[in-house]
Amino acid sequence: MENSSKGIFWLFFSKFFPPIINFSVFAYTARILAPEDFGLVALALAIIFIASSFMPSGWRDAIIKYQIEDVLTISSIFWLNLAVSLFLSAIIVGFSLLSFFDFQSQTFNLAIMVFCLKLIFDGLFYTLNIVLLKQQLYSLIALRTIFSAVISAVIIIALLLLDFGVWALIWAQAILSIANFFAVYLPTRKLVTFQFSLASIVKLNSFATYSTLTNGVTSALNHYESVIIGAVLGKRELGFYNVAKRLSTIISDIFIGTVSEISFPLLAKKQEELIEFRKAFMNSVYFSVLCLFPLFTFCFINSERIFLLLFTEKWLNAVVVFQAFCIMFAFIILGIPQKNIIILSNHAKWWFQLQVKLSLIIVPLTAASAYWGLNSLLIVLVLGKCLNCSVSMWKSCQLLSLNIKEYIANFIVPLICCIVAAITTSLITQFIPPFKFILLDIIISATIFFITYLAQLLLFDRKKLVNIGLILLPNNHHLIMLAKKLNIQEPQ
């Protein structure tokens, strides 16, 4: 458990600093470029991400699912991902050369060709990164990822200073993907040889096929709305949407991404024993809500200040989009452990079918709502996340023989504490005159919010807090002493 705690620290470390570096570059770029520039890049990237939904990601997941270690199978999965990414890139290049649509300007077509590099190297990166995750080599992931982020940031800043304009934003994506690949290739290069076994690929089909379809549909559903916004509302509206989404994604990658990458392998180790499986699931959900709900609640109530501080007034139209993402993340936070339970319980086929059925409802509604404006589209997106989370909640509880009321009661206290803290902070800050520096307003708001939140938790949920603390830090002397005072015998 101590190694697990260190692993969590290193994984968070690797998730926190590279996005901060990349975000600094992104924020500087947003101050220079126009919303239309961001819209062009967002539309090109959306097409790349939708193309990447056809990547054989299920075979990568199989490395953790079946704890694969042999070089032949890992190499086969690596070369399979390379072959598929090259095939998809060839299709995209053909699409850019033919120019079927009005939005395919020369800059757009060149940008999407550059992004093919991202498609190729991302596929290889995720394959090898999963090998490191399986081995729990979090310190290597942290050091290599930070190094690649620094190198790519230096190159991007140089392009900005040389007045490359929108091309700095375009090359930022490709350079980071290339750097990330080499960051994970160096410690895993001995596991990748010039071998390929079709039999090794075929034997994983039962799990990998449906996992691939599930991941593919999920990825497509995460990016299809950008194509709709760009086509219906235009590149300017897509620019506002993209900046809000990128800010949300950076926060999500740091925190939600860390929880996801930790929970899947840990839950996988408990999957053989139902009671332990259920206990790990409940702890995962509680810890996720405890840490992440207050973060996104605070961002929601301070969204306008955050955008003024980071991007200036020209991006204020993106505030409502960012607030919508904060609401959606509440459902995503709950959905991650639910999805992991469903996949690990060999119900990947059911999950895939659910995504297909929901997409048949949500995608047409999203496309139709775009004609009524961006706000209508955002409402549909939030409702879609809510519906997805609700159905997967029912299924995961069914698989674990868990009562839904018991499941909700597990995290109801931190949820209520978030709401009360948000209301209290909003009321108090109304009586505080705004400072000249927006950062001071945000700091004061954060102080009031998190003190209110933590005070409520210590008052109403102290035993559970100590219990979670003992699971993460079982040898902590202060936690052990506090547990004895509260009559907590062992972590549950």
Q: Is 415:286 a contact under the CB 8 Å cutoff?
A: no
Residue 486 CB coordination number (10 Å): 12
Question: What string of DSSP letters covers 184-212?
Answer: HHHHHGGG--S---HHHHHTTHHHHHHHH
Alpha-carbon distance of 196 to 193, in angstroms, equals 9
Alpha carbon distances (Å) from 118 to 89, 177, 357: 10, 5, 30
Looking up tokens 């991302």 gives: 122
Alpha-carbon distance of 130 to 59, in angstroms, equals 10
Q: Which pLDDT score, from 0 to 100, does residue 422 have?
A: 95
Residue 372 burial by Cβ neighbours in a 10 Å radius (0-12, 13-18, 19+): exposed
Q: Which pLDDT score, from 0 to 100, does residue 311 have?
A: 86
Q: Which pLDDT score, from 0 to 100, does residue 41 have?
A: 87
Alpha-carbon distance of 27 to 310, in angstroms, equals 6
Q: Which pLDDT score, from 0 to 100, does residue 18 have?
A: 67
Residues of the chain with pLDDT under 70: 1-19, 22, 101, 103, 135-142, 144-145, 257-266, 268-272, 466, 468-480, 482-492
Looking up tokens 């029912």 gives: 394
203: closest CA among 59, 79, 78? 59
Q: Which pLDDT score, from 0 to 100, does residue 426 have?
A: 94
What pTM did the predictor assign?
0.75
Q: Which pLDDT score, from 0 to 100, does residue 427 have?
A: 94
Domain boundaries, the chain: 1-203, 237-460
Q: Which pLDDT score, from 0 to 100, does residue 1 have?
A: 45
Q: Which pLDDT score, from 0 to 100, does residue 377 have?
A: 94
**Predicted confidence (pLDDT) per residue in 59-118, tens digit:** 988 888 788 888 999 999 999 999 999 999 999 999 888 877 676 788 889 999 999 999
Q: Which pLDDT score, from 0 to 100, does residue 162 have?
A: 84
Alpha-carbon distance of 312 to 314, in angstroms, equals 6
